[in-house]
Amino acid sequence: MSSDLKNVIYEWLMNERLLGKTTIKLDSKIAANLIKIMKNESISLADTNPRPTNIYSVKPETKPASPSTPLTDKKPKPHIASPTPPEKKYVPIPKINPPLSNDNPELAECSKSVMQCTDCELHKGRKNIVFGEGDSKSKLMFIGEAPGAEEDSTGRPFVGSAGKVLTGLLADIGLKRENVYIANILKCRPPANRDPLPNEIAVCHHWLDKQIEIIKPKIICSLGRHSTHFLLGLEIPFNKIRGNIYDYKGIKVVPIFHPAALLYHPAWRVDTEKDFQTLKKLYGEQ
Ligand code: SF4
């Protein structure tokens, strides 16, 4: 190869770099020939490029896109597979049909009224009202924030993946879903599972107030920061309040992580299991 051609290649690459390009699109045959010539002639980009040489690469124009061909002799770094997430503990949700709460005439009446509710915009997108279900005489009530997609489809609270986590945590302390009462602050699903808005909570919470008044639980487990904030008005970091025992109108309240959060942060399950032991102790004392 003449030194002229070598210089032309250097100059061309320098100009491409000055134009701010980090990759150059070339026909695959030309790219292959160029790499061959550069290897044969020991052309090093480091001689012409003051920046790290691996910013240059040649991409073939043909599809499908393949990893760009580096114009260096450096071997690509080995791919490091992301760690396998810990195994999730799921427990199937038993079918309760009809919900036990229908046995209670006051709750059944309340549920009928909620079905007519159009007090906020959420009624427009709902498939079903998710009123709540479980033992209307239970000492223990769980309160989440709002229904998700699965709940909206079935009309039952906590029946998706988060519900399976909750059912598993209950099983760990020897309880079944049928032994407790489960409800949310909002009875209709917010679009795309967004957080409940303050005005939605403001117009909807009287239904939950009524449920608490009828069920008269001794213990409420607030699931996540929204229901905890609604009941206790606490704004401090959730990790500092979870597992503690608070008071709401004479009812003991234990905030715990929302079961959905455990799906994304499996390591939080350890603390949540401890918090369920607190619930178990309180439950045994009532
Ligand atoms: S979310 Fe509550 S207030 Fe809004 S329509 Fe549904 S039941 Fe009524």
Mean pLDDT score, 73-93: 49
From 111, 120, 128, give the residue whose CB has the most ligand 1 atoms within 8 Å, as the site to mutate: 120
pLDDT higher than threshold 50 for residue 68: no
Distance 8 CA to ligand 1 centre (A): 72
Q: Is 198 exposed, middle or buried (0-12, 13-18, 19+ CB in 10 A)?
A: exposed
List the end-to-end C-alpha distance of the chain, in Å, as a whole number. 92
Residue burial 170-186, b: 16+ Cβ < 10 Å; e: rest: beeeebebeebbbbbbb
pLDDT higher than threshold 50 for residue 58: no
Q: What is the mean pLDDT of the chain?
A: 80
Say if pTM beats, i.e. exceeds, 0.85: no
> Which range, of 1-15, 18-32, 228-242, 243-257, averages the lowest pLDDT?
1-15
Mean pLDDT score, 208-225: 97
pLDDT of residue 5: 59
Rg of the Cα trace of the chain?
30
pLDDT higher than threshold 60 for residue 207: yes
**Could you check whether the bond before residue 98 is cis, i.e. omega within 30 degrees of 0?**
yes
From 124, 187, 199, give the residue whose CB has the most ligand 1 atoms within 8 Å, as the site to mutate: 187
Distance 206 CA to ligand 1 centre (A): 10
CA–CA dist 220, 44 (Å, integer): 70
Model confidence at 64, in pLDDT bands (50, 70, 90)? very low
List the domains of the chain with CATH numbers.
Answer: 3-70 (no CATH), 100-285 (3.40.470.10)
Report which protein residue has its CA nearest ligand 1's atom 2: 204
For residue 64 the two structure tokens come to 């499908």
pLDDT digits (tens, 9 = 90+) for 262-271: 999 999 999 9
CA–CA dist 33, 39 (Å, integer): 10
pLDDT of residue 123: 97
Asked if 238 and 228 touch (Cβ cutoff 8 Å), the reply is: yes
Report which protein residue has its CA nearest ligand 1's atom 6: 188
Query: H-helix or E-strand containing 26?
Result: strand 24-26
Mean pLDDT score, 89-103: 56
pLDDT of residue 220: 98
Report which protein residue has its CA nearest ligand 1's atom 7: 187
pLDDT of residue 51: 35
Model confidence at 46, in pLDDT bands (50, 70, 90)? very low
Pocket of ligand 1 (CB under 6 A): 114, 117-120, 122-123, 186-188, 200, 203-204
pLDDT of residue 145: 97
Nearest to 273 by CA among 243, 241, 236: 243
Distance 155 CA to ligand 1 centre (A): 14
pLDDT of residue 103: 74
Mean pLDDT score, 90-106: 63
Report which protein residue has its CA nearest ligand 1's atom 4: 120
pLDDT of residue 45: 52
% residues pLDDT > 70 (the chain):
66
From 200, 205, 209, 230, give the residue whose CB has the most ligand 1 atoms within 8 Å, as the site to mutate: 200
For residue 219 the two structure tokens come to 């213990």
